[in-house]
């Protein structure tokens, strides 16, 4: 079961901080929910820098990023 990080409505850098905390916990996959393109790109870059695979899915006006090892 995926760990869900709901970062919708938060401004950067908060979504990245929450995603990093989830990555440090090591429970994968992680689904990060964001509602802005800026947050999507910042979380994606942080996850890729950490060596994770990132799948981005548009859900209406929001985005779901699935982070896996």
pLDDT of residue 29: 98
Query: Strand 30-34 and strand 3-6: pairing?
Result: parallel
pLDDT of residue 10: 97
Alpha helices in the chain (DSSP H): 14-25, 37-49
Q: Give the H/E segment covering residue 56.
A: strand 53-59
In the predicted model, what is the mean pLDDT of residues 49-58?
Answer: 98
pLDDT (tens digit per residue) in 9-51: 999 899 999 999 999 999 999 999 999 999 999 999 999 999 9
What kind of fold does domain 3-68 have according to CATH?
Answer: Translation Initiation Factor IF3 (3.30.110)
Give the global pTM. Answer: 0.96
In the predicted model, what is the mean pLDDT of residues 52-59?
Answer: 98
Q: Which residue has the tokens 């970062």?
A: 7
């Amino acid at each position: 079961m995926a760990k869900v990080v709901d970062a919708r409505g938060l401004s950067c850098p908060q979504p990245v901080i929450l995603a990093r905390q989830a990555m440090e916990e090591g429970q994968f996959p992680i689904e990060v929910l964001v509602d802005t393109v800026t947050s999507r790109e910042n979380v994606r870059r942080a996850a890729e820098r950490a060596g994770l695979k990132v799948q981005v899915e548009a859900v209406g006006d929001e985005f779901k990023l699935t982070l896996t090892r």
